[in-house]
Structure 1
Amino acid sequence: MIFQFKIILKDVGVPVWRRLLIESDTTFEEFHYILLAAFDWMGSHLHEFEVRKTDGTNLPFGEVRIGVNNTEEDVDDGKILDLFMPFSFDDEPIFDQKEEVLSNWFLKEKDRVIYTYDFGDDWEHEIVLEKILNKDPNTSYPVCIKAKNDTPPEDSRYEIMTGEIDLVEPNWKEIVEDVNDLLVMEDLKTYFTDFFDL
């Protein structure tokens, strides 16, 4: 199955969103890299997913978190990006993003998850499942089908708050084209980790 998501970057002064079609068996780790591509992030900051509504049911704040679960092997291997992890507390379990797939948590239309990138600037993305579709054999997934406005540059929360950055971009088709130029890459993880010479 194919999930149609609307992903809204919150609290940036103007509407900024992307509409994506993604295969339902995509892992949350793969989804993370898709979101980096869709919102022009570099991947150099912490991130995690927080399930807010699944199977049509609202969940208590902070009950289900999905992110990086590091092991001693990751540290020994020196995997820099795997060290960018949210802290885990006994009362707030983190499910491993490498193992969890979208269809485990997005069960009905309007189910939603918050994706937070960069715990300093706190870029929150509200991910809403709009439709569950049949796979089109003539379409390559993931794909961006619509977008609104530019995304802020990395590490620019202060400039956004003070109105120094204009995100308004009327040419949504150009944004979609730019996003899809990245999404056609076979290995987005390698693309982003190459920034750190891993």
Structure 2
Amino acid sequence: MTAKTKIFRIEIVLVDVAPLVRRVVEVPGEMSLAMLHAVVQEAMGWEHAHLHEFGVGGVRYGMPDPGWDAGVADESRTKLFRLVAAGDRMDYVYDFGDGWEHALRVEDVVDAEPGVRYPRCVDGQGACPPEDVGGVPGYQLFLETLADPAHPDHDDQTAWWGGDRFDAASFDLAAADRALEGLAWAPLAAVKS
């Protein structure tokens, strides 16, 4: 990445989930969709435990399986800046069983700030649902069950989760940003514009 690399500010929203689960990340436009997948996983709080797929302009991108032609373009060979611009939207599905749909919108494309580490998380709200909770309907039931000690499944859900506390509205910006540190790139300090 150089100082001339453009930075894409992307809002990520978990579709149909209440309370709202949202992140805003800034990523280099030269990033592949495979790396953007890693950013979404880390910023949202997912565990990289399931398959995923992007949808952009009617084309599906993911990890092609040579033994099965599913019509998926190779995300590792596709750069973000070649697909989208400010105002454009993408879809991202994680865990085909639970079907977590994410709406991604490019809020802006800006110059890289000298000395700033990218990708970074700059805003967000709401806790990521637990893995394998059963998608949107399972998550809503999970929240209702934990909140009601008289619910017939309360003890089972509490045992599965490891407690009866889950704050769906919580979000820790510093923790979400720290989760991206392992993916970090920084503009080269020696490059002058």
Report the TM-score when normalising by structure 2. Answer: 0.74
Alpha-carbon offset, residue 133 of structure 1? 0.2
CA deviation vs aligned residue, 1:30-50 (integer Å, no higher than 9, x gap): 111111101111111110001
Alpha-carbon offset, residue 167 of structure 1? 1.1
**Contact 1:19-1:147 at 8 Å conserved across structures:** yes
Alpha-carbon offset, residue 166 of structure 1? 4.7
**Contact 1:67-1:94 at 8 Å conserved across structures:** yes
For the residues of structure 1 that align with 2:183 and 2:20, how far apart are their CA atoms? 30
For the residues of structure 2 that align with 1:186 and 1:127, how far apart are their CA atoms? 19
Report the TM-score when normalising by structure 1. Answer: 0.73
Paired residues for 1:1-198 under 5 Å: 1-52=6-57, 63-71=58-66, 88-89=69-70, 93-107=71-85, 109-156=86-133, 157=135, 158-162=137-141, 163-164=143-144, 166-169=167-170, 172=171, 175-186=172-183
**Contact 1:48-1:115 at 8 Å conserved across structures:** yes
**Contact 1:45-1:117 at 8 Å conserved across structures:** yes
Alpha-carbon offset, residue 186 of structure 1? 4.5
For the residues of structure 2 that align with 1:35 and 1:180, how far apart are their CA atoms? 11
Return the letter of the residue paired with 1:167: A
Which residue of structure 1 aligns with residue 189 of structure 2?
A: none
Work out the number of aligned pairs and report it: 155
Identity in percent = 29
For the residues of structure 1 that align with 2:124 and 2:103, how far apart are their CA atoms? 14
Which residue of structure 1 aligns with residue 148 of structure 2?
A: none
For the residues of structure 2 that align with 1:21 and 1:45, how far apart are their CA atoms? 24
How big is the alpha-carbon RMSD for the aligned residues of Structure 1 and Structure 2? 1.8
CA deviation vs aligned residue, 1:2-24 (integer Å, no higher than 9, x gap): 00000001111221100000000
What secondary structure does 1:155 align onto?
coil
Which residue of structure 1 aligns with residue 190 of structure 2?
A: none
For the residues of structure 2 that align with 1:13 and 1:183, how far apart are their CA atoms? 25
For the residues of structure 2 that align with 1:21 and 1:46, how far apart are their CA atoms? 23
For the residues of structure 2 that align with 1:46 and 1:112, how far apart are their CA atoms? 21
Which residue of structure 2 aligns with residue 75 of structure 1?
A: none
What secondary structure does 1:33 align onto?
helix
**Contact 1:13-1:160 at 8 Å conserved across structures:** no
Which residue of structure 2 aligns with residue 82 of structure 1?
A: none
**Contact 1:2-1:23 at 8 Å conserved across structures:** yes
Which structure: larger Rg? Answer: 2
